[in-house]
Structure 1
């Protein structure tokens, strides 16, 4: 489980932009960049998703 009080993550709007880049952009380079940014910040896409789900429940 993620403990956001311990870990420092980028601002939510930036994370949402990376998700948009990865899922909605028609450009493969932009999609890769969004994915790479999420992985670099969270360690995996699964952890990024877990963080976003938790944020949406707050």
Structure 2
């Protein structure tokens, strides 16, 4: 599935939850878990950010 243009990503609310965990949680373990989930789903935080930018238009 690597490089597939039809890659399946988690639902947007779940991605937003992981971002909240990473940026707003005061607990370092929760912050790390949010980051790990994003990287596991997208391969990098940059790709997760790109996905969000593309899906928040409109």
TM-score norm. by structure 2 comes to 0.90
1:19 and 1:53 mapped to 2: Cα distance? 13
C-alpha RMSD of the superposition:
1.8
Q: How does 1:5-20 map to 2 (within 5 A)?
A: 6-20=6-20
2:52 and 2:14 mapped to 1: Cα distance? 12
May I ask how many residue pairs the two structures share in their alignment?
56
2:13 and 2:6 mapped to 1: Cα distance? 20
2:6 and 2:52 mapped to 1: Cα distance? 16
Kindly report structure 1 stretches of 4+ aligned residues shifted beyond 3 Å.
none
| Structure 1: segments with no counterpart, 5+ residues | none
TM-score norm. by structure 1 comes to 0.90
| Structure 2: segments with no counterpart, 5+ residues | none
